[in-house]
Amino acid sequence: NAGVMQNPRHLVRRRGQEARLRCSPMKGHSHVYWYRQLPEEGLKFMVYLQKENIIDESGMPKERFSAEFPKEGPSILRIQQVVRGDSAAYFCASSPPSGQGDQPQHFGDGTRLSIL
């Protein structure tokens, strides 16, 4: 999974704290996606972003979760006031701009979030 960089790899938070997960896409990629993988569950889509724009956030919980992909710097997934149920692996994927042929998504190695 060289290319898509996520940090931190592991994050521990207490209930009520904030969690910030970062994702730097592959070089030349301008589309970023966030997915969540709960234990014994498949990967579930959360949000799709391009630089400074949220394209599709249909998978994001309505409260406490937000995402951004600023003009400069990594994409950030932010979870406020974390609860035990937020414990999961969060994966970021990126793909090339539209019009550049096949555009499969390539994934990072994820951030494993644990809530105490």
Partner 1 sequence: QKEVEQDPGPLSVPEGAIVSLNCTYSNSAFQYFMWYRQYSRKGPELLMYTYSSGNKEDGRFTAQVDKSSKYISLFIRDSQPSDSATYLCAMITPHGGSQGNLIFGKGTKLSVKP
Q: Is 75 in the site for partner 1 (CB under 8 A)?
A: no
The order of strands in the sheet holding 75-79 is 5-7, 19-24, 75-79, 65-68
Q: Figure out which of the listed residues 1, 17, 80, 81 binds partner 1, where binding follows CB under 8 A.
A: 1
**Near partner 1 in 82-111, by CB under 8 A:** 91, 93, 95, 98, 102-110
Name which of 14 and 42 has its Cβ closer to partner 1.
42
| Phi, psi (degrees; rounded to nearest 5) at 26 | -60, 155
- Alpha-carbon distance 54 to 15, whole Å? 27
Q: Figure out which of the listed residues 4, 19, 77, 115 binds partner 1, where binding follows CB under 8 A.
A: 4
Q: Figure out which of the listed residues 14, 27, 39, 42 binds partner 1, where binding follows CB under 8 A.
A: 42
Residue 42 to residues 18, 23, 65, Cα–Cα distance (Å): 25, 20, 20
Dihedral-angle region of residue 37 (phi above 0 means left; psi in -120 to 50 means alpha; beta otherwise): beta
Binding site for partner 1 (CB under 8 A): 1, 4, 6, 31, 33, 35, 41-45, 48, 56, 58-59, 91, 93, 95, 98, 102-110, 112
